[in-house]
Amino acid sequence: MRSLLPSTYGIDSVEEVLAEYLRRWKRIAEEGIDLLPRAESTVRKVAGPGALVALVTSGERGYADEFLRISGLAEVFVCSVTLEDVVKLKPNPGPYLKPTEIMGVESSQCVVFEDSVAWFKAARPAGMYSV
């Protein structure tokens, strides 16, 4: 399979891809991000009194921490689980089970808000409800 990176972006190597990714991420971190409409208020409502909220991502720790910081939502999340925290990623349920261990809750009491079919497939065997 031929890569579109050289013809589309003038990038020829993995190192160049990573460098470009880091340049763009630095710009986003400096300028801030625009969340989807009503995303912040929805997350804050879900994280109401007595609720424990965790972020589960297949991204790296630095990405997750920086996203939480620049989104202004860091204080809402009790914990976050990234690819560095688990052995297997989606559709394995491990990433969803990790925060239940950290927060000391039963998976049957958890609700997953997701936009990925693979993550929905991970929530079911974890014993969690999904939206």
pLDDT of residue 70: 87
| Topology annotation, domain 36-130 | Rossmann fold (3.40.50)
3-state SS class at 31: helix
pLDDT of 24-56, one tens digit each? 877 877 787 788 889 899 999 999 999 999 999
User: What separation in angstroms does the CA of 12 have from each of 21, 23, 26?
Assistant: 14, 16, 21
| Residue reference for tokens 């912040």 | 40
Identify which of 6-20, 58-72, 74-88 has the greatest average pLDDT: 74-88
Q: What is the pLDDT of residues 69-79, one digit of tens each?
A: 888 899 999 99
Please give the pLDDT value at position 1: 44
Q: In whole angstroms, what is the distance from residue 86 CA to residue 122 CA?
A: 13
**42 or 13, which is more confident:** 42
- Axis crossing angle, helix 14-31 with helix 61-71, rounded to the nearest 10: 20
- The model's pTM: 0.77
Sort 130 into a burial class: Cβ within 10 Å, 0-12 / 13-18 / 19+.
middle
For residues 28 and 70, the answer to whether their CB atoms sit within 8 Å is yes
Tens digit of each residue's pLDDT (9 = 90 or more) over 78-120: 999 999 999 998 889 999 999 999 999 999 999 999 888 888 8
Query: For residues 107 and 129, what is the distance between their CA atoms, to the nearest angstrom?
Result: 9
Peptide bond into 91 cis (omega under 30): yes
pLDDT at 67: 87
